[in-house]
Protein backbone atom coordinates (compact mmCIF):
# COMPACT_ATOMS: atom_id res chain seq x y z
CA UNK A 1 0.00 0.00 0.00
CA UNK A 2 1.39 3.38 -1.03
CA UNK A 3 1.95 6.01 1.67
CA UNK A 4 -0.03 9.02 0.39
CA UNK A 5 2.39 11.38 2.15
CA UNK A 6 5.26 10.23 -0.10
CA UNK A 7 5.63 10.76 -3.86
CA UNK A 8 3.80 8.08 -5.86
CA UNK A 9 6.25 5.77 -7.66
CA UNK A 10 5.11 5.34 -11.26
CA UNK A 11 6.33 3.72 -14.45
CA UNK A 12 5.20 5.17 -17.78
CA UNK A 13 4.83 3.09 -20.94
CA UNK A 14 5.05 4.77 -24.35
CA UNK A 15 5.37 3.89 -28.02
CA UNK A 16 5.97 7.19 -29.75
CA UNK A 17 6.45 10.93 -29.37
CA UNK A 18 5.58 11.03 -25.68
CA UNK A 19 3.73 14.34 -25.43
CA UNK A 20 1.60 13.07 -22.54
CA UNK A 21 4.78 11.79 -20.92
CA UNK A 22 6.19 15.31 -21.23
CA UNK A 23 3.07 16.77 -19.64
CA UNK A 24 3.52 14.44 -16.67
CA UNK A 25 7.25 15.22 -16.41
CA UNK A 26 6.48 18.94 -16.48
CA UNK A 27 3.70 18.62 -13.92
CA UNK A 28 6.00 16.69 -11.59
CA UNK A 29 8.76 19.29 -11.98
CA UNK A 30 6.77 22.52 -11.94
CA UNK A 31 3.49 21.86 -10.15
CA UNK A 32 2.35 19.94 -7.11
CA UNK A 33 2.06 16.56 -8.85
CA UNK A 34 3.48 14.25 -6.14
CA UNK A 35 5.03 11.47 -8.23
CA UNK A 36 8.41 9.85 -8.71
CA UNK A 37 8.78 8.66 -12.32
CA UNK A 38 11.00 5.65 -11.79
CA UNK A 39 11.22 4.59 -15.43
CA UNK A 40 9.90 5.15 -18.94
CA UNK A 41 9.63 2.00 -21.03
CA UNK A 42 8.88 1.76 -24.75
CA UNK A 43 8.21 -1.15 -27.07
CA UNK A 44 9.67 1.06 -29.81
CA UNK A 45 13.43 1.63 -29.40
CA UNK A 46 13.30 4.74 -31.61
CA UNK A 47 10.43 6.41 -29.75
CA UNK A 48 11.21 10.08 -29.17
CA UNK A 49 9.61 9.80 -25.74
CA UNK A 50 12.69 7.88 -24.56
CA UNK A 51 14.77 10.97 -25.34
CA UNK A 52 12.31 13.08 -23.35
CA UNK A 53 12.91 10.78 -20.38
CA UNK A 54 16.70 10.93 -20.73
CA UNK A 55 16.62 14.73 -20.81
CA UNK A 56 14.74 14.60 -17.50
CA UNK A 57 17.26 12.12 -16.02
CA UNK A 58 14.64 9.37 -15.90
CA UNK A 59 15.69 5.79 -16.70
CA UNK A 60 14.63 5.13 -20.31
CA UNK A 61 14.37 1.51 -21.42
CA UNK A 62 13.37 -0.13 -24.69
CA UNK A 63 11.80 -3.56 -24.98
CA UNK A 64 11.24 -4.23 -28.66
CA UNK A 65 8.13 -6.40 -29.06
CA UNK A 66 9.40 -7.50 -32.48
CA UNK A 67 12.16 -9.54 -30.85
CA UNK A 68 9.69 -11.78 -29.01
CA UNK A 69 8.00 -14.88 -30.41
CA UNK A 70 4.55 -13.78 -29.26
CA UNK A 71 2.48 -11.49 -27.09
CA UNK A 72 2.73 -13.70 -24.02
CA UNK A 73 6.52 -13.68 -24.02
CA UNK A 74 6.63 -9.91 -24.50
CA UNK A 75 4.09 -9.33 -21.73
CA UNK A 76 6.09 -11.50 -19.33
CA UNK A 77 9.33 -9.65 -20.06
CA UNK A 78 7.61 -6.28 -19.78
CA UNK A 79 6.03 -7.21 -16.45
CA UNK A 80 9.42 -8.27 -15.11
CA UNK A 81 10.98 -5.02 -16.27
CA UNK A 82 8.22 -2.89 -14.73
CA UNK A 83 8.23 -4.73 -11.42
CA UNK A 84 11.94 -4.04 -10.94
CA UNK A 85 10.93 -0.44 -10.28
CA UNK A 86 8.13 -1.32 -7.82
CA UNK A 87 5.58 1.19 -9.12
CA UNK A 88 2.33 1.88 -7.33
CA UNK A 89 0.83 2.94 -10.67
CA UNK A 90 1.53 2.01 -14.30
CA UNK A 91 0.69 4.83 -16.71
CA UNK A 92 0.03 4.06 -20.38
CA UNK A 93 0.83 7.22 -22.34
CA UNK A 94 0.44 6.37 -25.99
CA UNK A 95 1.45 2.74 -25.53
CA UNK A 96 0.26 1.06 -28.71
CA UNK A 97 0.32 -2.60 -27.73
CA UNK A 98 -2.65 -4.71 -26.68
CA UNK A 99 -1.80 -6.27 -23.32
CA UNK A 100 -2.84 -9.79 -22.46
CA UNK A 101 -5.23 -10.76 -19.66
CA UNK A 102 -2.52 -12.04 -17.31
CA UNK A 103 -0.62 -8.76 -17.56
CA UNK A 104 -3.75 -6.66 -17.08
CA UNK A 105 -4.87 -8.72 -14.09
CA UNK A 106 -1.45 -8.32 -12.46
CA UNK A 107 -1.85 -4.52 -12.49
CA UNK A 108 -5.63 -4.29 -12.14
CA UNK A 109 -6.59 -1.20 -10.18
CA UNK A 110 -3.14 0.31 -10.60
CA UNK A 111 -2.86 0.82 -14.35
CA UNK A 112 -4.49 3.67 -16.25
CA UNK A 113 -4.66 4.75 -19.88
CA UNK A 114 -5.60 7.85 -21.85
CA UNK A 115 -7.68 7.45 -24.98
CA UNK A 116 -8.48 10.15 -27.59
CA UNK A 117 -12.26 9.89 -27.59
CA UNK A 118 -15.22 10.27 -25.28
CA UNK A 119 -15.46 6.63 -24.28
CA UNK A 120 -17.43 4.46 -24.73
CA UNK A 121 -17.64 6.20 -28.12
CA UNK A 122 -14.88 5.41 -30.62
CA UNK A 123 -12.72 2.78 -28.93
CA UNK A 124 -9.69 1.61 -30.86
CA UNK A 125 -7.58 3.48 -33.40
CA UNK A 126 -8.00 6.45 -35.77
CA UNK A 127 -10.47 8.19 -33.48
CA UNK A 128 -10.10 11.71 -34.88
CA UNK A 129 -10.76 10.67 -38.46
CA UNK A 130 -13.71 8.58 -37.33
CA UNK A 131 -15.12 11.46 -35.28
CA UNK A 132 -15.02 13.72 -38.32
CA UNK A 133 -16.45 11.03 -40.59
CA UNK A 134 -19.45 10.27 -38.39
CA UNK A 135 -20.61 13.87 -38.12
CA UNK A 136 -20.15 14.20 -34.37
CA UNK A 137 -20.43 17.70 -32.90
CA UNK A 138 -17.97 17.06 -30.06
CA UNK A 139 -14.96 14.90 -29.40
CA UNK A 140 -12.46 14.63 -26.58
CA UNK A 141 -10.31 12.42 -24.39
CA UNK A 142 -10.85 9.96 -21.55
CA UNK A 143 -8.66 8.62 -18.76
CA UNK A 144 -9.71 5.16 -17.64
CA UNK A 145 -8.59 2.22 -15.57
CA UNK A 146 -7.26 -0.59 -17.74
CA UNK A 147 -9.24 -3.81 -17.74
CA UNK A 148 -9.35 -6.75 -20.11
CA UNK A 149 -11.96 -5.01 -22.25
CA UNK A 150 -10.07 -2.96 -24.85
CA UNK A 151 -10.61 0.75 -24.06
CA UNK A 152 -13.52 -0.44 -21.94
CA UNK A 153 -12.33 0.04 -18.37
CA UNK A 154 -14.20 2.42 -16.05
CA UNK A 155 -13.66 6.03 -17.11
CA UNK A 156 -12.27 8.43 -14.50
CA UNK A 157 -12.31 11.81 -16.23
CA UNK A 158 -13.11 13.23 -19.66
CA UNK A 159 -12.50 16.50 -21.46
CA UNK A 160 -14.74 17.55 -24.32
CA UNK A 161 -13.86 19.71 -27.31
CA UNK A 162 -16.10 20.99 -30.10
CA UNK A 163 -15.78 19.74 -33.65
CA UNK A 164 -15.77 22.85 -35.85
CA UNK A 165 -16.88 23.04 -39.50
CA UNK A 166 -13.37 23.61 -40.88
CA UNK A 167 -11.64 20.97 -38.76
CA UNK A 168 -9.33 18.39 -40.25
CA UNK A 169 -7.69 15.47 -38.46
CA UNK A 170 -4.54 17.42 -37.55
CA UNK A 171 -6.40 20.39 -36.09
CA UNK A 172 -8.84 18.25 -34.16
CA UNK A 173 -6.09 16.00 -32.83
CA UNK A 174 -4.17 19.01 -31.53
CA UNK A 175 -7.26 20.40 -29.81
CA UNK A 176 -7.85 17.06 -28.07
CA UNK A 177 -4.18 16.67 -27.15
CA UNK A 178 -4.16 19.97 -25.30
CA UNK A 179 -6.93 18.63 -23.08
CA UNK A 180 -5.15 15.30 -22.59
CA UNK A 181 -2.21 17.21 -21.11
CA UNK A 182 -4.53 18.61 -18.43
CA UNK A 183 -6.60 15.59 -17.48
CA UNK A 184 -3.89 12.93 -17.32
CA UNK A 185 -1.75 14.63 -14.66
CA UNK A 186 -4.95 15.43 -12.77
CA UNK A 187 -6.07 11.79 -12.65
CA UNK A 188 -2.58 10.74 -11.55
CA UNK A 189 -2.69 13.42 -8.85
CA UNK A 190 -5.92 11.98 -7.46
CA UNK A 191 -4.42 8.48 -7.39
CA UNK A 192 -1.24 9.74 -5.71
CA UNK A 193 -3.27 11.38 -2.95
CA UNK A 194 -5.21 8.19 -2.30
CA UNK A 195 -8.43 9.79 -3.53
CA UNK A 196 -8.91 7.55 -6.58
CA UNK A 197 -9.49 3.80 -6.60
CA UNK A 198 -11.01 1.10 -8.73
CA UNK A 199 -13.76 -0.88 -7.03
CA UNK A 200 -12.89 -4.19 -8.69
CA UNK A 201 -15.96 -6.00 -7.39
CA UNK A 202 -18.32 -3.54 -9.07
CA UNK A 203 -15.94 -2.42 -11.85
CA UNK A 204 -16.49 1.19 -10.83
CA UNK A 205 -14.38 4.28 -10.22
CA UNK A 206 -14.37 5.59 -6.64
CA UNK A 207 -13.27 9.20 -6.17
CA UNK A 208 -13.10 10.85 -2.75
CA UNK A 209 -14.95 7.87 -1.31
CA UNK A 210 -17.88 8.16 -3.72
CA UNK A 211 -18.59 5.72 -6.57
CA UNK A 212 -18.86 7.65 -9.83
CA UNK A 213 -21.98 7.09 -11.89
CA UNK A 214 -20.38 9.04 -14.73
CA UNK A 215 -16.84 10.33 -15.41
CA UNK A 216 -15.69 13.65 -14.02
CA UNK A 217 -16.24 16.26 -16.74
CA UNK A 218 -13.12 18.41 -16.92
CA UNK A 219 -14.78 20.62 -19.54
CA UNK A 220 -16.47 22.43 -16.65
CA UNK A 221 -13.21 22.64 -14.71
CA UNK A 222 -14.02 25.96 -13.04
CA UNK A 223 -16.83 24.23 -11.18
CA UNK A 224 -15.05 20.93 -10.63
CA UNK A 225 -14.99 20.16 -6.87
CA UNK A 226 -12.33 17.48 -7.39
CA UNK A 227 -9.74 19.71 -9.07
CA UNK A 228 -6.81 20.23 -6.64
CA UNK A 229 -5.73 23.47 -8.28
Cα angle for residues 191, 192, 193 (degrees, 5° grid): 90
The Cα–Cα gap between 200 and 77 comes to 26
Q: Output the average pLDDT for the chain.
A: 94
The yes-or-no verdict on residue 97 having pLDDT over 90 is yes
Beta bridge partners of 37: 10
Q: Mind telling me the catalytic residues?
A: 115
pLDDT value, residue 1? 58
Angle at which helices 169-192 and 19-30 pack, to 10 degrees? 40
Sign of CA dihedral 33, 37, 43, 45: positive
The Cα–Cα gap between 89 and 108 comes to 10
The Cα–Cα gap between 93 and 27 comes to 14
Which tens digits make up the pLDDT trace of 13-35? Answer: 999 999 999 999 999 998 889 99
Q: CATH for 8-223, among 3.20.20.80, 1.10.1060.10, 3.40.50.1860, 3.40.50.170?
A: 3.40.50.170
The yes-or-no verdict on residue 228 having pLDDT over 60 is no
pTM: 0.94
At 92 the three-state DSSP class reads: strand
**Helices assigned H by DSSP within the chain:** 19-30, 48-55, 71-83, 101-106, 127-133, 169-192
**Helices assigned H by DSSP within 5-70:** 19-30, 48-55
pLDDT value, residue 119? 97
The Cα diameter of the chain in Å comes to 50
The Cα–Cα gap between 192 and 112 comes to 13
pLDDT value, residue 31? 81
Beta bridge partners of 114: 143
The Cα–Cα gap between 95 and 86 comes to 19
Instruction: Name the band, by pLDDT with cuts 50, 70 and 90, for residue 152.
Output: very high
Beta bridge partners of 62: 42
CB within 8 A of 93, min separation 6: which ones? Answer: 12, 13, 14, 18, 20, 21, 24, 49, 114, 184
Beta bridge partners of 91: 12, 112
The yes-or-no verdict on residue 63 having pLDDT over 70 is yes
To the nearest 10°, report the CA torsion of 70, 111, 19, 126: 60
Amino acid sequence: MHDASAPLPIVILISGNGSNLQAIIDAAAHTALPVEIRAVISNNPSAFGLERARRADIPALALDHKTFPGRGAFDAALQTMIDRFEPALVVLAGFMRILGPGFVTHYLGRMINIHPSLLPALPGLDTHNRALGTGLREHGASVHFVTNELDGGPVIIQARVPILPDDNVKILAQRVLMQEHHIYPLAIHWFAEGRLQLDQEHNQVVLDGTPLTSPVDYTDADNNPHDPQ
